[in-house]
Amino acid sequence: MRQRIAVVGGGPGGLTFARVLHRHGHPVTVLERDPAPDARPPGGALDLHAGLGQLALEKAGLLAEFEALSRPEGQAMRILDPDGTVLRDWRPRPDERANPEIDRGQLRDLLLGPLDVQWGRGVSEVVPGAGDGVLVRFADGRQETFDLVIGADGAWSRVRPAVSPVTPHYTGVTSVETSLDDIDARHPGLARLIGDGSMAVYGANRSLVAQRNSGGHVKMYAKCRAPLDWHANLDPADADAVRSSLLDLFDGWAAPVLDLLRQGTSFVHRPFYTLPVSHTWTHVPGVTLLGDAAHLMPPLGAGANLAMLEGAELAEAIATGSGDPDETVRAFEERMWARAGRWAKITTAGLERLVSADPAAAIAEFDQVQPA
């Protein structure tokens, strides 16, 4: 008899897991708390790495579709000094596909395909070893039992407490997000400033990053080192007050750079949290984690890539394995911990350099990871 499998979370990792299982003809239940795919903004674009996210899509049989949707030109990166001087202006070759960009919404729709996702099924608790399997309790009071439950439900995972008592901690860095629509027509000067991909400006303990998405949409991220409650006296819904606070924070920077903040119409406060670099747990039969639920790290391009590859690898192992299913999951965890630990160290060190007292450290970080 086949296992009853549920994945909690309809993000890139959970959907990749389900899509690969579906490709192998294995039934899977996807539990997502959002009431519909478009219930909230999907977030900024993702760069999918050739050996991580793209490999996961290949395992799901979706690489060709991804290549048709992705934006290789989005790999471009421009770095400016706070006075507006261009310090770096890297542009990809026409055949460069190491890290092409794709909008999160497009990736979600690509992965959803034929999957039957149970929307509006918020999980409140997962209880392993509950008689006939793993008990999943839902926020609406219902409950259901599965043989295997995978927590792919992000930073504040409701599945994680079933295997680990660890909770995320604040890194000391906060990002305030805003955006612009139809930038090429409405703000052509800012469009030229950003270029085809992303633009970053680094100062002492603060930075401003702008990232192109498709359709002329641009996301901006104002990052700084600050106490978790730095915005306690601000009403997040008061865009004018938040904008004024940010303009004070970046006072003295070049006018075209500050125009990115002046033109933003709404602002979202996003403090960066992480789990310990070496986060592991004692294996619990019937429950495991992947992605941010397992190894939350600074958002520097690795998180979604790792989650997708982990989802694909675990699904393949389950679908093709002939031994003890629990040992299959245990072996997956060991592989995941080793790889995620390496990336957690890289991204933690990267965040320290990108938002530091020495802006030159951020330039060095760029030069270290960017092709010549």
Asked if the model's pLDDT at residue 372 lies above 60, the reply is no
Lowest mean pLDDT among 75-89, 108-122, 154-168, 229-243: 229-243
Closest to 206 in 3D by CA, of 266, 247, 255: 247
Characterize 134-143 residue by residue with b for buried, 16 or more Cβ atoms within 10 angstroms of its Cβ, and e for exposed.
bbbbbeeeee
Asked if the model's pLDDT at residue 368 lies above 80, the reply is no
Backbone angles phi, psi at 337, to 5 degrees: -60, -40
**How high is the pLDDT of residue 94?**
86
Token pair 């407490």 is at which residue?
161
Give the chain's domains with CATH numbers: 5-72+97-168+276-354 (3.50.50.60), 169-274+357-369 (3.30.9.30)
Closest to 261 in 3D by CA, of 210, 318, 313: 210
252 vs 83: CA distance, rounded Å: 8
Closest to 277 in 3D by CA, of 341, 210, 201, 202: 341
**How high is the pLDDT of residue 371?**
52
Q: What is the pLDDT of residues 284-322, one digit of tens each?
A: 999 999 999 999 999 999 999 999 999 999 999 999 987
Q: What is the pTM of this model?
A: 0.95
Per-residue pLDDT averaged across 215-219, rounded?
94
Closest to 206 in 3D by CA, of 250, 154, 153: 250
Q: What is the pLDDT of residues 57-109, one digit of tens each?
A: 999 999 999 999 999 999 999 999 999 999 999 999 988 999 999 999 999 99
Asked if the model's pLDDT at residue 369 lies above 80, the reply is no
Lowest mean pLDDT among 121-125, 231-235, 295-299, 340-344: 231-235
Q: What is the pLDDT of residues 30-47, one digit of tens each?
A: 999 999 998 888 788 999
Asked if the model's pLDDT at residue 152 lies above 60, the reply is yes
**How high is the pLDDT of residue 67?**
96
Q: What's the Cα-to-Cα distance from 328 to each of 144, 162, 317, 335, rounded to whole Å?
A: 23, 19, 7, 11
Looking at every residue in the chain, the average pLDDT score rounds to 94
Directed axis angle between helix 325-354 and helix 303-320, to 10°? 170
HSE value, Cβ hemisphere, 13 Å, CA-based, for 44: 21
160 vs 290: CA distance, rounded Å: 10
Per-residue pLDDT averaged across 20-31, rounded?
96
